[in-house]
Amino acid sequence: MNWHAIKVIYKFEMLRTWNTLLQSIASPVISTSLYFVVFGAAIGSRIESVEGISYGAFIVPGLMMLSLLTQSISNASFGIYFPKFTGTIYEILSAPMSFVEVVIGYVGAAATKSLIIGFIILATAGLFVDLQIAHPIWMLSFLILTCITFALFGFIIGIWADNFEKLQLIPLLVITPLVFLGGSFYSVSMLPPAWQTVTLFNPVLYLISGFRWSFFEVADVSVGLSLSMILLFLAICLGIVWWMFKTGYKIRQ
């Protein structure tokens, strides 16, 4: 394993974050604070609690997932797309490093950025509501798994995309609606039976449900099923990345 190559890629991607600190860190935190003002204050004043939890606290895991998913995807997709756009991808491919090392460098940096944002959002949420985490180890596990999995997903999008518009296509038109419809701001049990069944086909539901359980021991689906779903998606993303590098799909073309 060429750890020096991994370190170079990782440090370069992290340096890009520090150079765009306002956009990379401050922007998602400000957006999350606005969600608390709108949903926590306006709607929370009408909905006192959900399943025995104050509404402001109840939406914290969903808001964190909304930011984590979108940031993980955008960081990783832009990170690998930019070398394609400038042509420096060929220097990376010709360097004495395997595709595993390339993926670890880019995905590791993207996941780290998302983790930092996640912790900052968690600290910001503590300013608005009283938060108590029932299972901190499980919370951290779900946090890390989510960041890595969706950073891999973003890496795939970055390789697949032919232009900057495509980088935002899936996060805006697919991921964001799935998060909003996956129980971010409500419990699935509040929906009519037919819509509860439909919501079970939303993969993001399982991420939010497991993450919320780590906070409040309240979940829409079993924790084991939530963990299994994220591990399954992680395995699928790893398989797709392996296939892309093996075939050279939109990398050597």
Rounded Cα gap, residues 80 and 253, in angstroms = 15
**Residue 89: how many other CB atoms lie within 10 Å:** 18
Provide the pLDDT for residue 252. Answer: 64
Provide the pLDDT for residue 43. Answer: 67
Provide the pLDDT for residue 68. Answer: 87
Provide the pLDDT for residue 176. Answer: 85
Tell me the average confidence (pLDDT) per consecutive run of 10 residues in the chain, 253 residues long: 82 79 70 74 68 83 87 88 80 79 91 89 82 91 93 92 82 86 84 88 91 91 92 94 86 65
Rounded Cα gap, residues 250 and 252, in angstroms = 6
Provide the pLDDT for residue 44. Answer: 61
Angle at 107 between CA 11 and CA 26, to 5 degrees: 70
Provide the pLDDT for residue 253. Answer: 55
Angle at 209 between CA 199 and CA 170, to 5 degrees: 60
Contacts for 112 with CB less than 8 Å, ≥ 6 apart: 10, 14, 147
DSSP conformation class of 190: G
Owner of token pair 């797709």: 240
Provide the pLDDT for residue 31. Answer: 78
Provide the pLDDT for residue 45. Answer: 63
